[in-house]
Amino acid sequence: MSEFPPIGPYTPEKRMLIDGKLVNSSTGAEFDNINPATEEVLGQVADGSKEDMNRAIGAARNAFDNTDWSTNHKFRKHCLDQLQVALESEKEQLRAELVDEVGTPVMLTYSAQLEWPLEDAFRWPANYIGSFEWERSLPDDMKLGSVSKRKVRKEALGVIGAVVPWNFPFEVTANKIGPILATGNTVVLKPAPDTPWNATRLGRLIGEQTDIPAGVFNVVTSSDHLVGEELTLDPRVDMMSFTGSTRTGMRIMEKGAATLKRVFLELGGKSAMIVCDDADFALALPSVAGSCSHAGQGCVLQTRILLPRSRYAEGVAILTAVMQNIPYGDPRNPGNLMGPQISQLQRTRVLEYIEKGKAEGANLVVGGGRPASQPKGWFVEPTLFIDVDNSMTIAQEEIFGPVLCVIPYDDDEDAIRIANDSKYGLGVGVWSASLDRGMNIANRIRSGSASVNGGNWYGADAPYGGYKTSGIGRQNGIEGFNQHLETKLMGWTE
């Protein structure tokens, strides 16, 4: 399809890494990896079975219980440094592979899809191993009549099941696996069936180019979500680290309750962008193009645009022009901001939401369907609804497509009320000529992250996660590091 080389070539890995060995499925089955931009089969990958998952969990349990991985801090740092070198040596292969299997515009591989996480997702937690306070003393205690010495000790949790979605697969994987391994846990990684190769590549690199012991890191690919569910059900797994839909996150909590699984959940969002009446519209409003990047398939993208009634017509005119000019199409074209939806199913979901928006009375002004220019691939046009009421389905539910809703508001209090009137709480953007005003509004939004006047908060040192049904726990930073640890309290007499 592409007249935009030169990315690639790359050699994909079909096999899973289980207990230090690259293996095919125990059943011999494979499934297709499909390019969402062309609908063509790129190749195959092992279709792991429940038996494969069972072996991977056993290997992770054994590596945790019977090696010094969890306590040998220096060795882990050494291994993570090796992994960094290995990943960097295949960066260009990873880039091409991600563009093909994810349908991400190559532009985004220079930021969140690849280069940002490659820069620090492994490096930051690896470096933090050395400065982290693994033990700390508490004051002596006399309650039992003699002196008790006391301390708090941090220990790895155990075996972690890491389940990853298809939208930013390498980014999510790296930001899970970095802290999981740095803290001394062992892991079974289960990528989304839509985007398996970046995960099997990671498995091969770990197996072949690092000293990470057999069983510490395992990857199981499968076309069947229920193979991944074994991680939630198995008593040998201590924690589930999940990124994906709120619906699946709730199911993991429910099914995990029987074994009291620890959970880290990074789920959906429906973030608002509040544009204050004093904001520079020419600066603020073009940034909505970012909410269509990767065809809107990002959990923290700001998809509810709140405009003041006093400048509504002016704002709508700019937004309409921005949305009409979003470059999209072939993901290999470096000028494109948007590629396809990940699958036919996902495109159908997005188109159904657009129909619901129309049926509920929102005013469609840009896009709304499949682009005539893209006969192949699961594309949806950049789509803009105006005059949206926040109670409408398109304003309440996560669409995960390039669909923006413009909602008018009366004053700052009204904007805050609307932004908070959501079951989600992942992010918010605020634009104002007054930084104080912008920060005050951001402080009152119930969300795990906030950007004022386009500021960036992202990084491996930054604890990212959601309020409300957007999640539990934090990925990255000191909070994320701690999340993978148990706390042991010790008292002793000398």
Residue 184 binds ligand NAD, judged by CB under 6 A = no
Instruction: Identify the bridge partners of residue 491 per DSSP, sorted by sequence position.
Output: 150
Residue 460 binds ligand NAD, judged by CB under 6 A = no
Task: Identify which range of 104-112, 165-173, 434-442, 445-453 contacts ligand NAD by CB under 6 A.
Answer: 165-173
Tell me how far apart the alpha carbons of residues 98 and 75 are, in angstroms, rounded to a whole number.
30
What is the separation of C-alpha 291 from the centre of its chain, rounded to a whole number of angstroms?
Answer: 15
Q: Whole-angstrom distance between the N-terminal and C-terminal Cα of the chain?
A: 74
Task: Identify which range of 67-75, 150-158, 189-197, 371-379 contacts ligand NAD by CB under 6 A.
Answer: 189-197
The identity of residue 24, as a single letter, is N
Residue 263 binds ligand NAD, judged by CB under 6 A = no
Q: 148 or 245: whose CB is closer to ligand NAD?
A: 245
Residue 398 binds ligand NAD, judged by CB under 6 A = yes
Identify the sign of the CA torsion 70, 71, 72, 77: positive
Residue 267 binds ligand NAD, judged by CB under 6 A = yes
CB atoms within 10 A of CB 134: 14
Residue 33 binds ligand NAD, judged by CB under 6 A = no
Strands 424-425 and 467-468: antiparallel
With CB under 6 A as the contact rule, the residue among 10, 400, 424, 464 that binds ligand NAD is 400
Minimal distance in Å, beta carbon 250 to ligand NAD?
A: 10
Q: What is the DSSP letter of 213?
A: P
Q: 196 or 367: whose CB is closer to ligand NAD?
A: 196
Residue 232 binds ligand NAD, judged by CB under 6 A = yes
Q: 228 or 408: whose CB is closer to ligand NAD?
A: 228
Of 313, 389, 296, 304, whose CA–CA distance to 350 is shortest? 296
Minimal distance in Å, beta carbon 222 to ligand NAD?
A: 8
Task: Identify which range of 13-21, 238-246, 330-338, 449-457 contacts ligand NAD by CB under 6 A.
Answer: 238-246
Structure tokens at 433: 């000529």
The identity of residue 106, as a single letter, is V
Tell me how far apart the alpha carbons of residues 166 and 98 are, in angstroms, rounded to a whole number.
10
CB distance 306 to 319 below 8 Å: no
With CB under 6 A as the contact rule, the residue among 192, 219, 288, 407 that binds ligand NAD is 192
51 part of the active site: no
Residues 6 or more apart from 309 whose CB is under 8 A from it? 408, 409, 410
Residue 316 binds ligand NAD, judged by CB under 6 A = no
Residue 243 binds ligand NAD, judged by CB under 6 A = yes
> Which is catalytic among the residues 13, 97, 230, 266?
266
CB distance 80 to 182 below 8 Å: yes
Draw the binding track, 343-372, toward ligand NAD (x: CB under 6 A; -: no contact): ------x-----------------------
Minimal distance in Å, beta carbon 160 to ligand NAD?
A: 13
Q: Write out the DSSP string of 102-129.
A: H---GGGGGTTTTHHHHHHTTHHHHHHH
Residue 299 binds ligand NAD, judged by CB under 6 A = yes
299 part of the active site: yes
Strands 428-431 and 271-275: parallel
Q: Is 319 left (phi over 0), alpha (psi -120 to 50) or beta?
A: alpha
Q: Write out the DSSP string of 459-478.
A: STTS-B--EETTEES-BSHH
| Residue found by looking up tokens 């950049």 in the block | 382
Residue 128 binds ligand NAD, judged by CB under 6 A = no
Q: 256 or 368: whose CB is closer to ligand NAD?
A: 256
**Residues near ligand NAD (CB under 6 A), total:** 25
Minimal distance in Å, beta carbon 113 to ligand NAD?
A: 13
Residues making contact with ligand NAD (CB under 6 A): 163-167, 190, 192-193, 225, 228-229, 232, 243-245, 248, 251-252, 266-268, 299, 349, 398, 400
Catalytic residue annotation: 266, 299
